[in-house]
Structure formats: structure tokens, C-alpha cells
């Protein structure tokens, strides 16, 4: 897809992978609707539009979508479901509220956003949804059971959705990044973000690559890992 002039909705836009992806989309000529609870303070661009949104709440997603199409038009070409979080802890001591927070953000938010954009994409017979899962969506990790469960859910949702909408000209890609140097690890005991990890720009560039594939095929699943991780 040529991204010039195309409308791209991007969740979790304020920092990390979301901010890098917004910048990458803008560099390709896209019109970016950044959804988040906090506006990125250092992103100023005539084609960037911020819409306040808490993806955990369906009403907030519906309001953000209504505001987006009112301001940018009825066509939506790209959705990048990037908003997500991880909370670590053993299962037998894990707070139910933390479990629900991860599922509300990582899983339910992805569902709400996909459901919002699909009618427009079906009318167009054109669209691309990119869901950000994780390596944790492919294998279990000690003391990360809740996060793994939520990212496994994103994986299953994405693989089911692509089969459901492919005949409508809609692509669905699920990314499984390994460790990325972001603030994700601030609250994960025993792991510190470091320069041996992938960079947010690496993930953003990969998203652009998947979006620019020719119309006749799409990348369904894509795993990414650091080449020389810290020992």
C-alpha cells in the first residue's frame, strides 16, 4: 500500500514503539490519528492528529473513532494496535486487578479498535490491521503468566481475524517482537532495558515494511528478536 495521504490510526502513541511508528508513518506521507491517554509532547506535524482514547473502554474507543472520521474523513486505511502493558508476578500472588488491567488493554482494547474500523475497511475493500503481540505470545515466561496469556490471546484473535476478512481486501498482520529498549521494563523485576535490545525504530520500520507489501499478499505472522542480546 502506498501510504501517501492514507489515514492510519495508531494506539499507544505517546512513547516507545507507538511514537516511533507515528514518526515512520508520517515520513511515508500518511495522515496519522494518534490515539492515547497522553499526547506525545515532542511530536508536532501538520499530518499528526491526537485523539484522547483509553482503549480499555469501548465507549472511549467509539468516541475516538467518531472524532477521527469527523475530522479526517470516512476512509480509514491502517490500524496499528500498539497500546499494551505488562505486569510481572507469580500466579499464586498475582492481583486480580492487574490481570484484568492487562486483558482490558492488550486484548479487549485490540478487539474494540478492530471492531470500530472494520465497517469502513470493508466498504473500501481495502485496509491493513497490525496487531502488536510479543515473543510472550508464542512461549510461556516465568512470572509473566498474565502477560503471556494476554499476548497469546492477541495471537489467536489475529489469526482468526485474518481468515475472516481476507476476502474483503483487508490484511491482518501480527508482530511478535522480542525485547525492545523502552520503558516497558521499568516495572519488570530482573530485566533492565539496554542497548543490546531492539530499538523502537526497528519495530516501526518493520510495520512500514508490512504495510507496503503489494495488494496480492500479506504477512500474517512476523517474529523479531535481537541479534546479539545481552548475556
Instruction: Give the tens place of pLDDT for each residue, 154-171.
Output: 999 999 999 999 999 999
Residue 150 has pLDDT above 90, yes or no: yes
CATH code where residue 217 lies: 3.40.50.720
Report the mean per-residue pLDDT for the chain.
94
Task: Let me know if residue 231 belongs to a domain.
Answer: no
* Nearest residue to 165 via CA among 135, 121, 208, 133: 121
Degrees to nearest 5, angle at CA 192 with 85 and 186: 40
Helix (H) or strand (E) holding 130: strand 127-132
Task: Let me know if residue 71 belongs to a domain.
Answer: yes
d(CA 41, CA 37): 12
Q: Active site includes 176?
A: no
Please give the radius of gyration of the chain, using alpha carbons only, rounded to the nearest integer. 17
70: buried, middle or exposed (CB in 10 Å: 19+, 13-18, 0-12)?
exposed
What local confidence, expressed as pLDDT, does residue 197 receive? 85
* Nearest residue to 80 via CA among 181, 149, 158, 2: 158
What local confidence, expressed as pLDDT, does residue 26 receive? 98
All three cell numbers of 142: 516465568
* Cβ 3 vs Cβ 212: under 8 Å: yes
* Cβ 122 vs Cβ 168: under 8 Å: yes
Q: Total domain count for the chain?
A: 1
**The domain containing residue 57 runs over which residues?**
7-224
What local confidence, expressed as pLDDT, does residue 196 receive? 79
Q: In whole angstroms, how far apart are CA 29 and each of 102, 106, 185, 194, 200?
A: 33, 28, 32, 31, 20
d(CA 90, CA 66): 40
Q: How confident is the model at residue 42 (pLDDT cuts 50, 70, 90)?
A: confident
Q: In whole angstroms, how far apart are CA 85 and each of 27, 52, 209?
A: 27, 18, 24
What local confidence, expressed as pLDDT, does residue 177 receive? 95
Phi and psi (nearest 5°) for 140?
A: -75, 150
Q: What is the pLDDT of residues 173-190, one digit of tens each?
A: 999 999 887 656 456 555
Residue 210 has pLDDT above 80, yes or no: yes
Residue 193 has pLDDT above 60, yes or no: no
What local confidence, expressed as pLDDT, does residue 183 receive? 57
Task: Let me know if residue 34 belongs to a domain.
Answer: yes
Q: How confident is the model at residue 22 (pLDDT cuts 50, 70, 90)?
A: very high
Catalytic residue among 112, 147, 176, 209: 147
What local confidence, expressed as pLDDT, does residue 188 receive? 58
Q: What is the pLDDT of residues 71-86, one digit of tens each?
A: 999 999 999 999 999 9
Q: What is the pLDDT of residues 90-133, one digit of tens each?
A: 999 999 999 999 999 999 999 999 999 999 999 999 999 999 99
What local confidence, expressed as pLDDT, does residue 51 receive? 97
Give 69's contacts (C-beta < 8 A, 6+ positions apart).
76, 120
Q: How confident is the model at residue 229 (pLDDT cuts 50, 70, 90)?
A: confident
Task: Let me know if residue 210 belongs to a domain.
Answer: yes
Question: Looking at 26-98, which runs of residues are DSSP E strands?
Answer: 31-36, 48-52, 78-81
Amino acid at each position: 500500500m502506498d501510504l501517501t495521504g492514507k489515514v492510519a490510526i495508531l494506539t499507544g502513541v505517546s512513547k516507545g514503539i507507538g511514537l516511533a511508528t507515528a514518526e515512520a508513518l508520517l515520513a511515508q506521507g500518511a495522515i496519522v490519528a494518534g490515539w492515547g491517554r497522553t499526547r506525545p509532547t515532542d511530536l508536532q506535524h501538520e499530518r499528526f492528529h491526537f485523539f484522547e482514547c483509553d482503549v480499555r473502554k469501548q465507549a472511549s474507543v467509539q468516541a475516538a473513532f467518531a472524532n477521527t472520521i469527523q475530522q479526517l474523513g470516512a476512509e480509514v486505511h491502517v490500524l496499528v494496535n500498539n497500546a499494551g502493558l505488562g505486569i510481572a508476578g507469580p500466579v499464586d500472588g498475582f492481583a486480580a486487578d492487574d490481570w484484568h488491567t492487562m486483558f482490558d488493554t492488550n486484548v479487549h482494547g485490540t478487539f474494540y479498535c478492530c471492531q470500530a474500523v472494520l465497517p469502513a475497511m470493508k466498504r473500501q475493500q481495502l485496509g491493513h490491521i497490525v496487531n502488536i503481540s510479543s515473543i510472550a505470545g508464542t512461549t510461556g515466561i516465568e512470572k509473566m503468566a498474565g502477560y503471556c496469556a494476554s499476548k497469546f490471546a492477541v495471537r489467536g484473535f489475529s489469526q482468526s481475524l485474518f481468515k475472516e476478512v481476507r476476502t474483503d481486501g483487508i490484511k491482518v498482520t501480527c508482530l511478535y517482537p522480542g525485547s525492545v529498549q523502552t520503558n516497558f521494563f521499568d516495572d519488570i523485576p530482573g530485566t533492565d532495558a539496554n542497548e543490546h535490545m531492539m530499538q523502537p525504530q526497528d519495530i516501526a520500520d518493520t510495520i512500514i515494511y508490512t504495510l507496503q507489501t503489494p495488494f496480492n499478499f500479506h504477512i500474517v505472522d512476523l517474529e523479531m528478536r535481537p541479534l546479539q542480546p545481552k548475556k
